[in-house]
Chains A and B, each alone.
Chain A
Amino acid sequence: MDMNFNQHISQQFNADLEAIRNQMLAMGGLVQRQVSDAIEAILSGDTSSADKIIQREDDVDEMEVSIDQECTHILVRRQPAASDLRMVLAVSRVVRDLERMGDEASKIAIHALEVANGNQAGSKICHQAIRHMGTAVVKMTSDALDAFARHDINGAIEVVRSDKLVDEQYASAIRELSTYMMEDPRSISQAINILWILRAIERIGDHARNISEQVIYLVSGTDVRHSSLSEMEEQTQADN
């Protein structure tokens, strides 16, 4: 075939699709920074950035609404089909996950402030787990967005794999946390803050996993939501 199928007959359609994709990736970049700043704030105890993180949530919310509106416009004007349709649907779903990741990041920032302003007892518990899980979910977020940009199914599956590890780390951190609370009741109020933070980090991992599922949908057309990792691997292998 001597034709170039990368471009639509309508240049404007190309531009519209390119625009929602780029805006989504830009939004992803913003959210990723929010998440890494929030985790940094809790680990370093330096909460000067916390307010900024919480404020930035408004920008992320606005981006979600405006990108989703663009998606609606494309659906109405172009009636996209096949890979174009999947791109619009995937972008629309991914921005929702990104927005929720932003919410989780500001929850971390809020609790980081509470930890910093609370009593010393228990303010440093589970830092090891927060560091490991935090680093993992920041990387997962960035990997999921990269996989989206590159249409990379294997990269997406890698993120799903990492999410399983984060879930395991979360379960063990919760066990550690309850031990602290039983040993030293003075630490309970801080432990509850830490619990919320761990929970938020774990949720961010889940959202990164959701984004990866949309990458698989975008590339192969297979809807792998609510599938296990092994089912996902099977399905995507069958597609290849």
Chain B
Amino acid sequence: MQLIENHTTTGIPFSNKAKLSARNVDVFYGDKQAIYDVSLDIGANEVIALIGPSGCGKSTFLRTLNRMNDTIDICKVKGEILLDNENIYDPKVDTVPLRARVGMVFQKPNPFPKSIYDNVAYGPRIHGLAQTRVELDETVEKSLQRAGLWNEVKDRLHAPGTGLSGGQQQRLCIARTIAVDPEVILMDEPCSALDPIATAKIEELIDELREKYTIAIVTHSMQQAARVSQRTAYFHLGQLIEVNPTSQVFTTPQHELTEAYITGRFG
């Protein structure tokens, strides 16, 4: 397998209601290039699925969208990522408020070793989003409700978050993310550690969250991509091969690599 020379992305990578726009993004780990010249818009209130074989750069690309890669010393990002037309890689941008605006949910649920309440209240506290105890209570309740977890935990808010089941922990992490009122939520394989029922609940939740947020999800499950997203972006060896409406990608993909991947001819 090798890179495609002079590749331009097939399909429709741009959107006329872009919330996040990547322009000519290259990412390097030391002298090894992981992402090649990726340009992609993520539209407001859409779910975009990033799919591709292992090592194709989809997670790396996702992590550029809220500067998560800054935490890796040897990682260098070139190009621009625009959030509401402002480049988040501008040296003046502070990553702490940025990551409140662009939240992230990880593969393994990672609640803090604190109570359910404190897990959700943590963000609003450090960002000073709640002035009074009552306000904080409201934020915690609203976030847990939006994450579909309130009814299951309302009687044990002060029990440790780590005592919940895997699926509940993941919804707790989603509640924690939305507690700081983000605009974009990045999800890196949020269901890969969950059973089918817990997965179905998260997928249902993703669909509801779309009304309020913009969501980018990396997933290894093509059925999941097909179920939750409106657009699908296929990555291959660090290149963005094709972006199209999800229903099109899964019935009539334009690029032969996309076709080969989603029909299970490699991966």
Contact = CB atoms under 8 A, between A and B. Distances in A.
Contacts of A84: 263-264
Interface string B238-267: 000000000000111100111110111111
B222 interface: yes
B264 A83 contact: no
B256 A9 contact: no
A3 B250 contact: no
Contacts of A85: 250-251
A5 B251 contact: no
Contacts of A3: 1, 260, 266
B259 to A, nearest CB: 5
Nearest to A78: B264
A5 B252 contact: no
B223 interface: yes
Contacts of A5: 256, 259-260, 265-266
B51 to A, nearest CB: 11
B1 A83 contact: no
Interface string A74-92: 0000111111111000000
A220 B222 CA distance: 22
B267 A221 contact: no
**Secondary structure type dominating chain B contacts:** helix
Given A3-B1, A81-B222, A83-B259, A9 B252 contact: no
Contacts of A13: 264
Given A1-B1, A79-B223, A81-B222, A9 B266 contact: yes
B1 to A, nearest CB: 7
A12 to B, nearest CB: 11
Nearest to B258: A82
Interface residues of B, number: 20
A221 B252 contact: yes
B264 A10 contact: yes
A148 B251 CA distance: 18
B251 A221 contact: yes
A238 to B, nearest CB: 13
A222 B263 CA distance: 18
Interface in A140-172: none
A8 interface: yes
B1 A81 contact: no
Contacts of A7: 265
A7 B222 CA distance: 19
Contacts of A82: 250-253, 258-259, 262-263
A51 B203 CA distance: 57
Given A81-B250, A81-B251, A81-B262, A2 B267 contact: no
Most chain B CB within 10 A, of A79, A83, A86, is at A83
Interface in A68-124: 78-86
Contacts of A81: 222, 226, 250-251, 262-263
Contacts of B223: 79
A86 B1 contact: no
A13 B266 CA distance: 13
Contacts of A80: 263
Interface string A1-34: 1110111111001000000000000000000000
Contacts of B222: 79, 81
A9 B264 CA distance: 6
B263 A8 contact: yes
A34 B202 CA distance: 54
Interface in B24-69: none
Contacts of A86: 251-252
Nearest to B259: A82
A220 B259 CA distance: 13
Most chain A CB within 10 A, of B252, B258, B259, is at B252
Contacts of B250: 81-82, 85
Contact of A8 (B2, B252, B253, B264): B264
B126 to A, nearest CB: 43
A80 B264 CA distance: 9
9 contacts: A5-B266, A6-B265, A9-B266, A79-B223, A82-B258, A82-B259, A82-B262, A83-B259, A85-B250
Given A2-B2, A81-B263, A84-B264, 13 more contacts: A1-B257, A2-B1, A3-B1, A3-B260, A3-B266, A5-B266, A7-B265, A9-B265, A9-B266, A78-B264, A80-B263, A82-B251, A83-B259
Sort A-B residue pairs by CB-CB distance and give the 7 closest, nearest first. Answer: A221-B252, A5-B260, A81-B262, A81-B250, A5-B265, A84-B263, A82-B259
